[in-house]
Structure 1
């Protein structure tokens, strides 16, 4: 095989960090020839602290948004799919952050990071030092414990996110994108326009776009679970085994099957049926 994930270890953060960090993923991989993956869009921020073979991260909509020859970077949130390319042996830890968590940990408005991949050396020496410390440790439990300590220490020094924005985020996220912008603005006490401007500045994307991404993430995760549990015969028989894409669309809050397919094309670069035949994305399902 051209690309092999030789090791993948999931770590759960300290319980005090769970509101901010869902999980850690430690990985090792080897690619004998250039390995390209498509990474789906998402209303989250990805922190990669890696060592070994570097990657190129590219956004097909604008080359200048990417990062090239890096093994430690921050990406997103993205409202379109992007791609990574690597060759050789690499290792590292992937950390998925909600926008409020990333806003606190990184100490800058996510409007400066939206639809961009940025090497960590542009975001503060603490991330570079942390990457080097992780590379020098002997095992994944030790690396995850060091991540716990570093992130908890950073949060202790960081200022809080505006409580009105945080409540709006929690309502939007908790509803899977089902709460309208007008209702969210009312919760903050701001006008709809002011709310949208501040939300985008602090969390990177407009609230309406985040709502679409949250709905897509639910559909993408559902597709992944159903592929795992699909009966013998493979992903190509998923539609026959389930009620089909129209039923998936209805479950996930889309108007119809066409709406679902359009969103997948925009955010994943492929239709659900094409992805059911085999996805190269490393983003979570």
Structure 2
């Protein structure tokens, strides 16, 4: 049996969270798709946390570097920050909602240090408290997407309201990294926060999931990836060098190495074969 090409889902419904949640959650993405044959998608790495709450046929999340870090035969899972690409594989009818969370948001919503989820996909049933499983069941029972998005609003607002605060300097560190697309040096960032470089690296790694230097690389890659795959971009051979310079890479070969490491393909190959469009820009 051959794998089916990674086409778009049969239907997508985008929901905007309540304005009070916008700093934490970018959007809700409801989906339904049917795959008569095994459907495989490449998932590019990224400095974000993916939460899937589904109630259709199960899927596999496979990390080619380490099989035990994946999740198998699950309909709902959390994938922490990954510093390498992985694959999803499913067959049948999949229905659910996808949320992309910044690491600071995921740290508060999930209520655990994100290092526990680094380079891992975990069935939500294995997470403490069981609240995500109960939320998934309520979403499945809801009659339409507006009601589902309202349930998500209420559940996430409650989690954020009850969450213990994280050191605000970690939020500042994250914001500085994202504002600069990862171009700020770790030593400079630590000095701005009044921490040693080691203290910043250890705390950031524990709470956010990856060291600040790796996070900076992923943020730079995300910008390049989003730019290259935007509709109508049409990046040609000369354009890759321009893109590399625009996104803060030393040269084009540096950009190509990051694409190979974080997306599993050279940029030109990626645009031909495709990958999952969850990587935010």
Common fold by TM > 0.5: yes
1:239 match: 236
Q: Secondary structure at the match of 2:279?
A: coil
Distance 1:269 1:199, change over 3 A: same
Question: 1:187 deviation in Å?
Answer: 2.5
2:216 match: 211
Matches of 2:275 and 2:119 in 1, distance apart? 20
Q: Which moved more, 1:95-104 or 1:187-196?
A: 187-196
Q: Secondary structure at the match of 2:276?
A: coil
- Checking the alignment, whether the CA contact within 8 Å between 2:44 and 2:279 is kept in structure 1 is no
1:27-66 CA deviation, whole Å, 9 max, x = no partner?
A: 0011101111110000000000001110100111111100
Question: 1:173 deviation in Å?
Answer: 1.1
Question: 1:12 deviation in Å?
Answer: 0.9
Question: 1:133 deviation in Å?
Answer: 0.5
Task: Give yes or no for the alignment of 1:55 onto 2:52.
Answer: no
- Checking the alignment, whether the CA contact within 8 Å between 1:55 and 1:70 is kept in structure 2 is yes
2:184 match: 179
- Checking the alignment, whether the CA contact within 8 Å between 1:164 and 1:187 is kept in structure 2 is no
Task: Give yes or no for the alignment of 1:33 onto 2:2.
Answer: no
1:12 match: 16
Query: TM (normalized to structure 2)?
Result: 0.95
Unaligned stretches of 5+ in structure 2? none
Matches of 1:245 and 1:4 in 2, distance apart? 26
Over aligned residue pairs, what C-alpha RMSD do you find?
1.4
Question: 1:188 deviation in Å?
Answer: 2.5
Matches of 2:273 and 2:83 in 1, distance apart? 22
Task: Give yes or no for the alignment of 1:272 onto 2:267.
Answer: yes
2:255 match: 260
Q: How many residues align?
A: 275
Unaligned stretches of 5+ in structure 1? none
Q: Which moved more, 1:36-45 or 1:181-190?
A: 181-190
- Checking the alignment, whether the CA contact within 8 Å between 1:4 and 1:31 is kept in structure 2 is no
Task: Give yes or no for the alignment of 1:229 onto 2:223.
Answer: no
Q: Which moved more, 1:202-211 or 1:183-192?
A: 183-192
- Checking the alignment, whether the CA contact within 8 Å between 1:24 and 1:94 is kept in structure 2 is yes
- Checking the alignment, whether the CA contact within 8 Å between 2:186 and 2:212 is kept in structure 1 is yes
1:90 match: 94
Matches of 1:195 and 1:280 in 2, distance apart? 33
- Checking the alignment, whether the CA contact within 8 Å between 1:4 and 1:30 is kept in structure 2 is no
1:43 match: 47
Query: TM (normalized to structure 1)?
Result: 0.93
Question: 1:189 deviation in Å?
Answer: 1.8
Q: Secondary structure at the match of 1:262?
A: helix
